[in-house]
């Protein structure tokens, strides 16, 4: 795969805040996000559907799709930060013009429901994106989290990164390398039936929220039952599985998966729906070694 790396973020760039999924739950947070970026030296524009609502989504599919295409086409926009997650991205994936995305590469950042877009952009447009904070819930906080902001700006202005968990969990030892791929587990599994798994060796990363342990087991098993997944996965990096019912069962599950697939599995990184979160290059070349995740991109 000839991956496309977007240009680095620079002061004075225009950032587009794009509503691809859920409707805004707090319009004041969008104004705070705008103020945050402007105070840090960036220009900000919002997609026309930022305040729209249709069945819990930020407007009808056609409008959200049109705004996505417009933001990639506009040369003045250098980075796209998704407004929020929620639901709606998988309703667009069969309609996206992936050639347009490939021909107009730029920074694209989000997590949760946005995982579907990051995965499909990588698969169909060869574009490295970013699994990281979003406008409403992160940049739009009354006091944006310092750790999250530092990780965001460092990742979008660097070429090499090393992430080490404060309290690393080693479910299975070893080293591995491949492109970094994954995201929100439930959203990744929602892509089953599509051509979405990388053809190259990959390090799988995952997180989720409000999913019971048996459902996480079910989703992981669904992926492992796909031959291409088990063939190409070389390691696994786990973030938080917040508000689950049986965390001890998850520890057992991840140990079981590591041994079954004979891959290194580490946990404890700030890949999460929680306030403090890392920004990760989605599609960057990653290595697991010494309880750390190293990425070059």
Strand-pairing partners, residue 130, are 109, 281
Distance in Å from the first CA to the final CA of the chain: 13
Residue 197 DSSP symbol = S
Residue-level pLDDT at 291: 80
Other CB atoms within a 10 A radius of the CB of residue 8 amount to 14
Which of 52-56, 163-167, 183-187, 219-223 has the lowest average pLDDT? 163-167
CATH of 14-153, one of 3.40.50.1000, 3.40.50.300, 3.40.50.10740, 3.10.20.30: 3.40.50.10740
- The ranges of the chain annotated as CATH 3.40.50.10740 are 14-153
Residue-level pLDDT at 93: 98
| Torsion angle of the four alpha carbons 206, 207, 211, 217, in this order, in degrees rounded to the nearest 10 | 30
- The ranges of the chain annotated as CATH 3.50.30.60 are 160-296
Mean pLDDT of 10-20: 98
> Per-residue confidence at 163, pLDDT binned at 50, 70, 90?
confident
Average pLDDT over all residues of the chain: 96
Give burial (CB, 10 Å; 0-12/13-18/19+) of 167: exposed
Nearest to 287 by CA among 206, 211, 176, 193: 176
Catalytic residue numbers? 112, 207, 273
Mean pLDDT of 34-55: 98
Rounded CA gap, 49 and 81, in Å? 14
| Per-residue pLDDT at 166 exceeds 70 | no
* Torsions phi, psi for 45 (to 5 deg): -130, 150
Highest mean pLDDT range out of 100-109, 152-161, 286-295? Answer: 100-109
| Per-residue pLDDT at 162 exceeds 70 | yes
Rounded CA gap, 254 and 184, in Å? 16
| Per-residue pLDDT at 289 exceeds 90 | no
State pLDDT tens for residues 201-248: 999 999 999 999 999 999 999 999 999 999 999 999 999 999 999 999
Could you please state the CATH topology (level 3) that the domain comprising 160-296 is classified under.
Answer: Glucose Oxidase; domain 1 (3.50.30)
State pLDDT tens for residues 98-133: 999 999 999 999 999 999 999 999 999 999 999 999
């Amino acid at each position: 795969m000839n991956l496309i790396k977007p240009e680095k973020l620079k002061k004075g760039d225009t950032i587009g805040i794009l509503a691809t999924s859920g409707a805004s739950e707090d319009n004041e947070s969008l104004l705070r996000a705008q103020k945050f970026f402007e105070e840090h030296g960036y220009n900000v524009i919002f997609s026309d559907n930022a305040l729209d609502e249709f069945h819990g989504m930020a407007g009808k599919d056609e409008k959200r799709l049109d705004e996505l295409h417009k933001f990639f086409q506009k040369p003045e926009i250098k980075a796209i930060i998704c407004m929020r997650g929620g639901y709606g991205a998988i309703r667009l994936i069969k309609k996206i013009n992936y050639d347009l995305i490939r021909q107009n590469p730029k920074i694209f950042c989000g997590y949760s429901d946005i995982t579907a877009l990051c995965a499909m952009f990588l698969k169909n447009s060869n574009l490295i994106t970013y699994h990281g904070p979003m406008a409403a819930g992160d940049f739009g906080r009354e006091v944006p989290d310092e750790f999250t902001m530092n990780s965001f700006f460092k990742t979008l202005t660097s070429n090499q990164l090393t992430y080490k968990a404060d309290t690393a969990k080693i479910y299975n030892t070893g080293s591995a390398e491949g492109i970094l791929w994954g995201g929100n587990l439930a959203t990744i599994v929602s892509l089953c039936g599509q051509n979405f798994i990388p053809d190259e060796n990959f390090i799988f990363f995952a997180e989720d929220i409000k999913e019971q342990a048996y459902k996480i087991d079910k989703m992981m098993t669904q992926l492992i039952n796909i031959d291409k997944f088990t063939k190409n996965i070389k390691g696994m990096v786990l973030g938080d599985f917040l508000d689950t019912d049986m965390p001890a069962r998850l520890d057992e599950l991840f140990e079981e998966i590591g041994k079954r697939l004979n891959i290194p599995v580490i946990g404890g990184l700030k890949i999460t729906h929680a306030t403090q979160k890392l920004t990760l290059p989605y599609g960057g070349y990653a290595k697991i070694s010494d309880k750390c995740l190293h990425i070059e991109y």
